[in-house]
Amino acid sequence: MRTSPNVIITGTPGVGKTVHCEQLAEETGLRHLSINQVAKERDCYETYDHELQTWVVDEDKLLDAIEDQVLQGGYLIDWHACDLFPKSWIDLVVVLRCPSTNVHYDRLAS
């Protein structure tokens, strides 16, 4: 049984998920779990999409890779979607939004 919550911090690329997770981890003692980093380190990819110029994540492999960790609780999960994770794993979902299209575009362009 978990004694600490698991929180997903989600939103479109460039809204500040990683920055928020890092700050919250520092302030709360919860651990930051970057799904991008896990996918890279544990080779959780199906294929590369040349049109979109991005890797396609193998969701089953990814979930298998993080299940033991996440079930312990105490994670801030940094990912652009929340529907991948079983509901029983997650206690709270926070959706970040950028207040301005111009600001968001500038973040993505940099």
In CATH, what number is assigned to the domain containing residue 31? 3.40.50.300
Question: Has residue 2 been placed in a domain?
Answer: no
Q: What is the pLDDT of residue 14?
A: 82
Question: Has residue 72 been placed in a domain?
Answer: yes
Q: What is the 3-state secondary structure (H, E, C) of 53-76?
A: CEEEECHHHHHHHHHHHHHHCCEE
Question: Which residues face 48 on adjacent strands?
Answer: 55
Q: 83-106, pLDDT tens digit by residue?
A: 999 999 999 999 998 876 666 556
Q: What is the pLDDT of residue 18?
A: 95
| Average pLDDT of span 21-33 | 98
pLDDT at residue 75 tops 90: yes
Q: What is the pLDDT of residue 35?
A: 96
- Which residue type is seen at 43? D
Sequence-separated (6 or more) residues with CB below 8 Å from residue 64: none
The residue segments making up the domain with residue 34 are 7-109
Domain tally, the chain: 1
Measuring CA to CA, which residue among 69, 55, 59, 61 is closest to residue 42? 61
| CA angle centred on 65, ends 8 and 26, rounded to 5° | 40
State the average pLDDT for the chain.
91
| Average pLDDT of span 2-15 | 92
Cα–Cα distance between 74 and 32 in angstroms, integer? 9
